[in-house]
Structure 1
Amino acid sequence: MSVASRDDQTPGGRHNNDFANICQIKIMPSFDEIRCSRTEYLPIVDPSQWHIPGIDGLLDRNFRLLREDTVGQIRDTVRHEIIPGANKTKPPLHRFVHRGVRLLNVGFHWLFGLYFEVDFPQPSVIVKSPVHLRQRWWEESRRLRPGDLVCLVIQKDLIVFCTVADQAMMQKRKRGLTKPQKSETASLWNNEKRASVLLKLVDSRFSNVGLILDVYSHKDPAMSLIEFPGVLLASFEPSLKALQTMKAKEDLPFPELLAPWSLNPSNSPKTWTPLYASQSGFAYNLRCLLNTDVNFYVQPGDFPTQRKQTQYLQENSTLDHGQASALIRCLNRRIGLIQGPPGTGKSYTCVALIKVLLANREEGKLGPIVCVTYTNLALDQLLEALLEHKVTSQIVRVGSQSKSEKLQEFSLSVASRWSQRTDWEKQERSTINKELRDSELKFDAIEVKRSISAGRLKLHVQQYHGRHYDQLFPQTQEDFARHDFNPPKGPAQDTFGLWMDSGSPTDAPPRSTTILEDTDVFDMSRQERVNMHGQWCRELREDVGHKIAKLVESHQLSKVGFDAIEDDMHIRFLAKAEVIGITTSGLARRYDMFQRLQCKVMICEEAGEVLEPHMLAAFLPSVKHAILIGDQQQLRPQVQSYRLSRENVQGGGRYSLDVSLFERLVSSSKVTPMSCGHMYNTLQVQRRMHPQISQLVRVTLYPNMQDISSAQHYPKIRGMRKRLYWLDHRSMEDSQEHTKKGVAQRSAAKGPLSEDGMSTSHWNKHEIEIITALVHHLVRQDYSVGEIAVLTPYLNQLQKLRQRLAKDFPIAVGDRDQNNIAHAGYVDNIRPQDLTQAKQGGLRVATVDNFQGEEAQIVLISLVRSNTQRQCGFLRTSNRINVLLSRAQHGMYIIGNSETARHVPMWAKVIDILKQGQNISKSLELMCPRHPDTVIRVSAPKDFAALSPRGGCIQRCDQPLRVIDRSMDVTINAQIHVGDPALTGAWSK
Structure 2
Amino acid sequence: MSDETTLLVHFQPPSDEGPSDIVGAFTNEADVAPDAIGAIDIDDDTATVNVRPNVADRIVQALDGGRIGTSTVSIALLDAETESARAYATRLTDLVELEREEEMRRHEREIETLSGREREDRGRALLRMRGRDEGEGLGGHHVKLMREQKGQPLPDHEIRVGDLIMISKTDPLRDDNPTGTVTQVTNYSITASFDPKPDGWVFGKGLRPDRREEVVSGLRVDLYVNDIPYQRMQDALAQLPTADGALKQLRDVSTGVASPAATEPAPIDDWHNSALNDAQRRAVRKAVATDDVHLIHGPPGTGKTTTATEVLQQCVDRGESVLATAASNTAVDNVVAFLAEQGTDVVRLGHPARVNDRLRTHTLDAQIEDTDTHRRSQQKREKAFAVLDRQEDLTAPSGRWRRGMSDRKIKERAEQGRGSRGVPPERIEEMAAWLALQERADALFDEAEALEQEAIDEVLGAADVVCGTNSTAGSDLLDGHTFDTLVIDEATQATAPSCWIPMTHARRAVLVGDHKQLPPTIQNQEAARRGLRRTLFERLAHHHETAPEAPGSIRSLLRRQYRMHETIMGFPNRTFYDGRLEADDTARHRTLAGLGVPEHALPADERRAILDPEAPLVFVDTSGIDAPEHQRSGSHSRENPREADLIAQLTTALLEAGMAPSAIAVISPYDDQVDRIDRALAPNGPETDTVDGFQGREKEIVLLSLVRSNDRGAIGFLDEPRRFNVAVTRAERKAVVVGDASTVAAADVLGAFVRYAETTGRAVPL
The one-letter code matched in structure 1 to 2:234 is L
Counterparts of 1:903-914 in structure 2 under 5 Å? 903-914=746-757
SS of the aligned residue for 1:287 comes to: coil
Is residue 498 of structure 2 the alignment partner of residue 614 of structure 1? yes
1:142 maps to: 159
Distance 2:516 2:465 in 1: 29
Q: Cα distance 1:264–1:78, how it changes in 2: closer, same or farther (>3 A)?
A: closer
Is residue 204 of structure 2 the alignment partner of residue 182 of structure 1? yes
Distance 1:909 1:240 in 2: 42
8 Å contact kept, 2:250–2:508: no
Q: Give the Å deviation of 1:870.
A: 2.0
Q: Give the Å deviation of 1:231.
A: 2.4
Please report the RMSD computed on the Cα atoms of aligned residues, expressed in angstroms.
Answer: 5.3
Higher relative contact order (Cα pairs below 8 Å, separated by 6+ residues): 1
8 Å contact kept, 1:735–1:762: yes
Q: Cα distance 1:114–1:378, how it changes in 2: closer, same or farther (>3 A)?
A: closer
1:395 maps to: 346
Question: Gaps spanning 5+ residues in structure 1: where?
Answer: 1-15, 26-47, 84-92, 123-128, 200-226, 278-282, 292-316, 465-551, 646-651, 672-676, 741-757, 812-842, 924-989
8 Å contact kept, 2:302–2:562: yes
Q: Cα distance 1:435–1:241, how it changes in 2: closer, same or farther (>3 A)?
A: farther
2:480 maps to: 596
1:7 maps to: none
The one-letter code matched in structure 2 to 1:237 is Q
The one-letter code matched in structure 2 to 1:665 is L
Is residue 647 of structure 2 the alignment partner of residue 771 of structure 1? yes
Distance 1:639 1:171 in 2: 29
2:523 maps to: 640
SS of the aligned residue for 2:696 comes to: coil
Structure exhibiting the larger radius of gyration computed from Cα positions: 1
2:369 maps to: 417
8 Å contact kept, 1:902–1:908: yes
Structure 1 residues 821-849: Cα deviation after superposition (integer angstroms, max 9, x where no partner): xxxxxxxxxxxxxxxxxxxxxx2222111
Distance 1:115 1:415 in 2: 19
Is residue 214 of structure 2 the alignment partner of residue 197 of structure 1? no
1:61 maps to: 91
The one-letter code matched in structure 1 to 2:360 is Q
Is residue 299 of structure 2 the alignment partner of residue 341 of structure 1? yes
Distance 2:384 2:641 in 1: 61
Distance 1:587 1:863 in 2: 39
Structure 1 residues 923-962: Cα deviation after superposition (integer angstroms, max 9, x where no partner): 4xxxxxxxxxxxxxxxxxxxxxxxxxxxxxxxxxxxxxxx
Distance 2:324 2:196 in 1: 32
Q: Give the Å deviation of 1:163.
A: 5.2
Distance 2:713 2:545 in 1: 31
Counterparts of 1:437-476 in structure 2 under 5 Å? none
8 Å contact kept, 1:151–1:160: no
Among residues 653, 669, 687, which one is paired with 1:793 in the alignment?
Answer: 669
Distance 1:444 1:251 in 2: 54
1:803 maps to: 679
Distance 2:307 2:388 in 1: 48
Distance 1:63 1:151 in 2: 31
Mean alpha-carbon deviation: is it higher for 349-358 or for 416-425? 416-425
8 Å contact kept, 1:398–1:411: yes
Q: Give the Å deviation of 1:160.
A: 4.1
Structure 1 residues 605-645: Cα deviation after superposition (integer angstroms, max 9, x where no partner): 11100111111001133x22211110111110111112222
Distance 1:23 1:578 in 2: 36
2:287 maps to: 330
SS of the aligned residue for 1:341 comes to: coil
Q: Give the Å deviation of 1:77.
A: 7.6
Distance 2:748 2:442 in 1: 57
Distance 1:893 1:777 in 2: 13
8 Å contact kept, 1:435–1:558: no
Q: Cα distance 1:866–1:20, how it changes in 2: closer, same or farther (>3 A)?
A: farther
Structure 1 residues 390-425: Cα deviation after superposition (integer angstroms, max 9, x where no partner): 3x3412222324564542332223233211118985
SS of the aligned residue for 2:517 comes to: coil
SS of the aligned residue for 2:722 comes to: helix
Q: Give the Å deviation of 1:61.
A: 2.5
8 Å contact kept, 1:145–1:164: no
Q: Cα distance 1:700–1:569, how it changes in 2: closer, same or farther (>3 A)?
A: same
Is residue 586 of structure 2 the alignment partner of residue 586 of structure 1? no
Q: Give the Å deviation of 1:337.
A: 0.8
Counterparts of 1:242-641 in structure 2 under 5 Å? 242-244=236-238, 246=239, 250=243, 253-260=246-253, 271-272=261-262, 286-289=268-271, 318-333=275-290, 334-361=292-319, 366-367=320-321, 369-388=322-341, 390=342, 392-399=343-350, 400-401=352-353, 404-421=356-373, 429=381, 565-588=451-474, 590=475, 592-621=476-505, 623-641=506-524
Q: Cα distance 1:683–1:144, how it changes in 2: closer, same or farther (>3 A)?
A: closer
The one-letter code matched in structure 1 to 2:281 is A
Counterparts of 1:884-903 in structure 2 under 5 Å? 884-903=727-746
8 Å contact kept, 1:665–1:678: no
Q: Give the Å deviation of 1:699.
A: 1.8
2:45 maps to: 23
Q: Give the Å deviation of 1:194.
A: 4.8
8 Å contact kept, 2:622–2:738: yes
Counterparts of 1:98-113 in structure 2 under 5 Å? none
Q: Give the Å deviation of 1:72.
A: 4.3
Distance 1:558 1:419 in 2: 19
Q: Give the Å deviation of 1:178.
A: 9.6
SS of the aligned residue for 1:849 comes to: coil
SS of the aligned residue for 2:94 comes to: helix
8 Å contact kept, 2:162–2:353: no
8 Å contact kept, 1:376–1:401: no
TM-score by length of 1: 0.54
Q: Paired residues, what number?
A: 620
Counterparts of 1:158-177 in structure 2 under 5 Å? 160=175, 162=177, 164-165=179-180, 168-169=191-192
Among residues 234, 244, 257, which one is paired with 1:240 in the alignment?
Answer: 234
SS of the aligned residue for 2:45 comes to: helix
Q: Cα distance 1:172–1:81, how it changes in 2: closer, same or farther (>3 A)?
A: closer
Q: Cα distance 1:711–1:565, how it changes in 2: closer, same or farther (>3 A)?
A: same
Distance 1:80 1:890 in 2: 44
Is residue 539 of structure 2 the alignment partner of residue 664 of structure 1? yes
The one-letter code matched in structure 2 to 1:232 is N
Distance 1:880 1:664 in 2: 19
Q: Give the Å deviation of 1:790.
A: 1.1
8 Å contact kept, 1:171–1:184: no
Q: Give the Å deviation of 1:52.
A: 7.6
TM-score by length of 2: 0.68
Q: Percent identity over the alignment?
A: 21
SS of the aligned residue for 1:640 comes to: coil
8 Å contact kept, 1:691–1:711: yes
8 Å contact kept, 2:620–2:765: yes
1:726 maps to: 619
Structure 1 residues 534-590: Cα deviation after superposition (integer angstroms, max 9, x where no partner): xxxxxxxxxxxxxxxxxx9x99999898656433312211211112221223223x2
SS of the aligned residue for 1:236 comes to: helix
Q: Give the Å deviation of 1:854.
A: 1.3
Q: Cα distance 1:916–1:256, how it changes in 2: closer, same or farther (>3 A)?
A: same
Q: Give the Å deviation of 1:387.
A: 3.8
Q: Cα distance 1:152–1:728, how it changes in 2: closer, same or farther (>3 A)?
A: farther
1:684 maps to: 559
8 Å contact kept, 2:95–2:532: yes
Distance 1:658 1:696 in 2: 25
Distance 1:443 1:762 in 2: 66
